Structure 1
Amino acid sequence: MPFMPVTESMFLVAETREHPMHVGGLQLFVPPDGEEETFGQKVYETFEAATDVYELFRKRPAPPVNVMGTLRWIFDDDLDFEHHVRRIMLPRPGRVRELLRYVSAEHGAPLDRHRPMWELHIIEGLADGRLALYSKIHHSLVDGVSALKLFEKTLTPDPDRRDCGPIWDPALFRKKKSSAVATTGGGALAAVSTGVKAAGELAGMGPAAARIGWNKLRGNDMVLPLTAPHTMLNVPIGGARRFASQQWSKTRMTDVASALGVTLNDVVLTMCAGALRSYLIDRNALPDQPLVAMVPVSMREAGADASGGNAVTTVLCNLGTDQPDPERRLAAVVRSMNDSKAMMRNLSPLQALGYGAAVMAPLLLTPVPGFVRNTPPPFNVIISNVPGPKTEMYWNGARLDGVYPASIVLDGQALNITLATNADNVNFGLVGDRRSVPSLQRMLTHLDTALEELEKLA
């Protein structure tokens, strides 16, 4: 029974019925020609036959699940595939509206801790002939980046291949054996070396915090925690969710970024800033101070395996929502993100993770009665950008048409905006508390308007 690192156990500790801690995704596929009516059955049969399951998908909290289950993992040898893999037929008329209603309802339901914590729903019945897969997996097992990388492992750029399997296939995780030969005692020496390095980096947390504070005193525009304004998005929430999604052309956004000399992520954040400003104006709820976004940053090195676990820190971004002019709003976003990046370059990986933990720490107090309503929010909204495959990808001849993330909302954080890319698509997935964030679909219209404003500026 392996111990859980705190980066995994914290998602179990924080979970309640009203605050399920799983990440999800909605993938849409265009079946091969002539297979529109039978492709869902083929997918189900492929998954049902794949009974050899990689250990990540056999892990569950040790019993009792609410005590030992936050400390150690155990592994199930036999999985109940009827529970984990489900085949669903949408009600008529099979519009995207019916699909999003189904995902909204399922995303609010917690995963069973007495089983490995994942589900995969095969959804048929869309009027346009596409097949949908809705997956959810507990955040203690994967973060957003590793969840998408797991999904990518099952795909191929070859539309003629017919040997693609499910994400739990152990063959997807096999690595080439290292040719390096370990010397006697190397494990112990490595452990000591790692411990010394960690102790040194932890000792450097104080000076690192001092550097961050000094940068702020020097007039740096970097945003600090607990400086965000109160908004209608920063309230206690219930357990019901609403999910909305939309796709835009990546080329449109990169053209804007190139013309304005900024990054694609700057364009995305400014789109979100414009949409949030318009949405809050619609509700007569826009604060005078600019909203602050928490932006997750992957700590994985380029080329590192990202198929499991959590390796994410966070930075804070001034969204410039107090600026009616999109050019000034973009400038505020760029300036804030550049300052945060400069700060991160001065931190070691361990110190960066520590900073991210400090940003997130106030969320641990949200269950305390009155805390959310009577203290400044650490930030107003979470905005994540997860890079996906850069070319067209296929699963047994079916073309991936879009991948829409569905993430987590919390007490005090009623809206989450996550996007993922595939080929020339930028796919936005918005999750909101059903009561606190009404008319979530309006955010999609405002995102489109914000992109048009940036195109005119470019």
Structure 2
Amino acid sequence: MPYMPITESMFLLAETREQPMHVGGLQLFVPREGQSGTDLAEEIFETFHNCRDVRKLFRKRPAPPATVLGYLAWSYDDDIDFDYHVRRAVLPRPGRIRELLRYVSLNHSALLDRTRPMWELHIIDGLEDGRVALYTKIHHSLIDGVSALRLLENSLSADPDDRTGTAMWDPALKRRRSSSAPAALVSRIAAVRGLAGQAVDVAGQIVGAAPAAAKIAWRAIREDDFAAPFVPAPRTMLDVSIGSARRFAAQQWPVGRLRAVAESLDITLNDVVLAMCGSALRAYLVDHDDLPDAPLIAAVPVSMHGDTASEGNAITAIMANLGTDEPDAERRLATVVASTRSAKEVIRGLSPLQALMFGAATIAPLALAPLPGFVDHTAPQFNLMVSNVPGPTDHLYWNGARLDGAYPVSIVMEGLALNITITTTADQINFGILGARKELPSLQRMLTHLDAALDDLEKVAGKVTRISGP
């Protein structure tokens, strides 16, 4: 049985009934010409159900026994119960997006079974517009959001005439991806270098952790723009103990609108996304008479995978000041840009291992959140997580059915009742918003506020040519 690293076991250790620790995704497909939604759903179900050769990732489950320190190893199931893992559903009439999001909300509230490989795939039709939805959920101990999106991409094709569609757990997909000889050679060379130099490299980076921490502390003292970890954020309705029920809201916008703002102001697409989130949160909290005087702080995960297609978890995090205390959209955007630029400069000054350690330390207080009274008597380190995961740049297809949207469905936790995760698909940017159902009423209003925020940013771009920053 392979050893379970602490970076994976911590997601199992943190899980409670009120705090499921699985990530998910909602994908929408347009049937190919002449095909009905029901026919496409049946085709996907039959193909997936009959794909009995399963890669190791989808056969993993925690090996008993669990100790006070959690699980220590993984085991692998040889037989997969596809009747359990691959599910077929039909939405009740009238089959609006509202019914689909309600289905996702209810199913994302339920824990995964640890006695089985920890994943489910739901094939859903009955949408009034004829599209077919795939809702997947997989435990965060197995994979992070970047790797999950790459698994989806790898199971699709850029060729609308390709009819070789298969399930994302098919080992043939992994073999096909790694069939390039030069890429495989580079990978082998990197592996040899890693084995030879790993001990020296890791030891050197750990020794350098103290100076790196000193550098971060000095930056926090010297620069007002830098949102330093361990500096308390304001307490809001987002930072409370939560129940197990979830509500999911999702919407997409043309990515060209956001890129036009970014290019006009010489900022990044992620800056535009964070500014939209800050503006929407300000409006949402005003709706509920809960806007604090101090700005909200977002933890923004940063992938360390680079250009590789590796599986597992490899993320750090930075803090971003969302400028919610600023009523003016232009000044709020300037606050976001200055904050993210300063944080990125700090990360660039760290080694990869130090960056991972920095991210782990940043979100470490979340591990204590399930303890009774911790959330109620401890100031939050940040108010929410906002993740932006780059997706495919081309239109993708499964057996000729076009991917029309991919919405991340992430995690909320004790003291962290809201999560916003974004990804791109070809010419669209897709927002997935997950919230604790009871604690955050009328969560769907966030979508209206995001739309208004983008309108405001376009007005800013129309009168300003550049946002200044360090």
Shared fold (TM-score greater than 0.5)?
yes
Deviations 1:19-68 (A, max 9, x none): 11100000000001221131111111101110000011001100235669
Which residue is equivalent to 1:275? 280
Which residue is equivalent to 2:232? 227
Structure 1 segment 259-338 matched on structure 2, within 5 A = 259-302=264-307, 304-306=308-310, 308-338=311-341
The 10-residue stretch of structure 1 (328-337 or 1-10) with the greater mean CA deviation from structure 2:
1-10
Which residue is equivalent to 1:342? 345
The reply to whether residue 129 of structure 1 matches residue 137 of structure 2 is no
- Secondary structure, counterpart of 2:345 in structure 1: helix
For 1:235 and 1:208, the matched residues in 2 are separated by 32
For 1:222 and 1:146, the matched residues in 2 are separated by 29
Return the letter of the residue paired with 1:441: Q
Which residue is equivalent to 1:29? 29
For 1:182 and 1:15, the matched residues in 2 are separated by 36
For 1:428 and 1:130, the matched residues in 2 are separated by 19
TM superposition shift of 1:219: 2.5
For 1:182 and 1:94, the matched residues in 2 are separated by 50
Change (3 A) 1:182 1:425: closer
Deviations 1:102-123 (A, max 9, x none): 0000001010000000000000
TM superposition shift of 1:388: 0.6
Q: Is the 8 A contact 2:393 2:425 kept in 1?
A: yes
- Secondary structure, counterpart of 1:38 in structure 2: helix
What CA RMSD, in Å, does the superposition of the two structures yield over aligned residues? 1.8
Q: Is the 8 A contact 2:13 2:70 kept in 1?
A: no
Which residue is equivalent to 2:464? none
In structure 1, the gaps of 5 or more residues are none
Change (3 A) 1:267 1:180: closer
For 1:270 and 1:182, the matched residues in 2 are separated by 42
- Secondary structure, counterpart of 2:337 in structure 1: helix
- Secondary structure, counterpart of 1:92 in structure 2: coil
Deviations 1:292-337 (A, max 9, x none): 00000011122x123x200110000000000000000000000000
Which of 180, 198, 207 is matched with 2:211 structurally? 207
In structure 2, the gaps of 5 or more residues are 462-470
The reply to whether residue 193 of structure 1 matches residue 194 of structure 2 is no
For 1:69 and 1:270, the matched residues in 2 are separated by 39
For 1:24 and 1:68, the matched residues in 2 are separated by 26
Which residue is equivalent to 2:167? 166
- Secondary structure, counterpart of 2:128 in structure 1: coil
TM superposition shift of 1:363: 0.8
For 2:336 and 2:103, the matched residues in 1 are separated by 35
- Secondary structure, counterpart of 2:124 in structure 1: strand
- Secondary structure, counterpart of 1:70 in structure 2: coil
Return the letter of the residue paired with 2:416: Q
Number of residues paired by the alignment?
A: 453
Return the letter of the residue paired with 1:219: E
TM superposition shift of 1:227: 2.2
Return the letter of the residue paired with 2:454: L
Change (3 A) 1:230 1:159: same
For 2:155 and 2:113, the matched residues in 1 are separated by 25
TM superposition shift of 1:457: 1.0
For 1:203 and 1:100, the matched residues in 2 are separated by 48
Which residue is equivalent to 1:13? 13
- Secondary structure, counterpart of 2:136 in structure 1: strand
Q: Is the 8 A contact 2:65 2:71 kept in 1?
A: no
Which residue is equivalent to 2:445? 442
Which of 382, 391, 411 is matched with 2:385 structurally? 382
For 2:233 and 2:187, the matched residues in 1 are separated by 52
Structure 1 segment 412-427 matched on structure 2, within 5 A = 412-427=415-430
TM superposition shift of 1:193: 3.0
